Amino acid sequence: MKRRDFLKTAGTVSCAVGTAATAGTMTQQSALANELPKGKAFIELRVFTCANAEKKQKLIEIFDAALIPALNRQGIKPVGLFETSAELNDGDKNYDKANDLKVFLVTQFTTTNQLLQVIPKLLADDTYLKDASPIFEAPMNDPIYDTGEASLLLGFDHFPRIEVPSLEKDRVLQIRLYNSYNIERNARKIEMFDVGGEIALFKKFGMAPVFYGETLAGRMTPNLTYMLSFKNIDEKIANWQKFATSSEWKKLSGDPLYKNTANKILNILLKPTPKSQI
């Protein structure tokens, strides 16, 4: 796609989904009835916050044993389940220790119907309801998790779906959110990755991508969110250094076309749970 055409098409699906979200359920389902652009997927990031470390561990055990298999039964694969800690993010002065009590779930939907039906199908899945019963039987004043939030993303043109680059035992995942201060700057930042060559540079320097997505609905919009995978923490440190000091990155980041595109960045290192498929 040529640069001059990119901004014309960027955000088209965002607007369609956003418009549908303001209408009633029937109108929404009608607006989302068409299939996704060829090869693309919706990527969903859910974050669950627990009251303490014990409940967080319990939630991970339930999701590993019950939720991941239930989603797989619906054809939703791969399912990524992650946790984080201040220790893992040591050295990041911007890390929020509140993340220590959060569980991160990453899924993808290859059709709009799959997205719309995921929760109804979970509620109709007797095996899931039984295996996840501690969640449903917990009293209202003492739930397994306190809050949940969700962001819905659409895969990029040149990286349309989740990929699983590594399942090394010591792997770490890195999720990064680039918030822009207006929709034009966000579209330009997406272009920098998708057309300008940043995705290719990441791959060249061993920054294995899991997904790249434009956030259609969720926190800190407009933004793009992406996830990288590394075999271990040492590889993460070394490969980011190679990338940051490369002449290719200096040239791309110095392109006036891409100046002042992201004014807030969230950066979190994650480790997979025992049954995570990413």
Q: Which pLDDT value is given to residue 35?
A: 76
Distance of alpha carbon 77 from alpha carbon 178, whole angstroms: 26
Domains of the chain in start order, with CATH, are 3-272 (3.30.70.100)
Residue with tokens 């890195």: 174
CB 88 within 8 A of CB 71: no
Q: Cα separation of 218 and 221, whole Å?
A: 7
Residue 158 per-residue DSSP state: T
Question: Residue 168 contacts by C-beta under 8 Å, 6 or more apart in sequence?
Answer: 231, 232
Q: CA separation (Å) from 185 to 12, 13, 26, 216, 257?
A: 15, 17, 33, 15, 10
pLDDT value for 9: 52
Token pair belonging to 196 = 């300008």
pLDDT given at position 122: 98
Locate 32 and state its tokens.
């989302």
Burial of 138-152, coded b for 16+ CB within 10 Å and e otherwise, reads: eeeeeebbeeeeebb
| pLDDT for residue 91 | 87
Global pTM?
A: 0.87
75/109 Cα distance (integer angstroms): 9
SS3 268: strand
Strand pairing category for 264-272 and 223-230: unpaired
Other residues' Cβ atoms within 10 Å of the Cβ of residue 135: 17
Using DSSP bridges, classify how beta strands 264-272 and 80-83 pair: parallel, antiparallel or unpaired: antiparallel
Coil vs helix vs strand at 160 = coil
Nearest CA among 66, 95, 96, 68 for reference residue 81: 68
User: 69: cis peptide before it, omega within 30°?
Assistant: no
Tens digit of pLDDT at every position of the chain (278 positions): 554 454 545 544 443 344 334 334 444 444 444 578 878 999 999 999 999 999 999 999 999 999 999 999 999 999 999 999 999 999 899 999 999 999 999 999 999 999 999 999 999 999 999 999 999 999 999 999 999 999 999 999 999 999 999 899 999 999 999 999 999 999 999 999 999 999 999 999 999 999 999 999 999 999 999 999 999 999 999 999 999 999 999 999 999 999 999 999 999 999 999 999 99
pLDDT at 13: 42
> 19: alpha, beta or left, given left = phi > 0 and alpha = psi -120 to 50?
alpha
- The first and second tokens of residue 239, run together, are 């490969």
Which segments of the chain are extended strands (E)? Answer: 42-49, 80-83, 102-109, 147-155, 172-179, 208-217, 223-230, 264-272
Provide the pLDDT for residue 21: 40
Mapping DSSP to helix (H, G, I), strand (E, B) and coil, where does residue 260 land?
A: coil
Residue 47 exposure: Cα atoms within 13 Å on the Cβ side = 15
- Which DSSP letter does residue 35 get? P
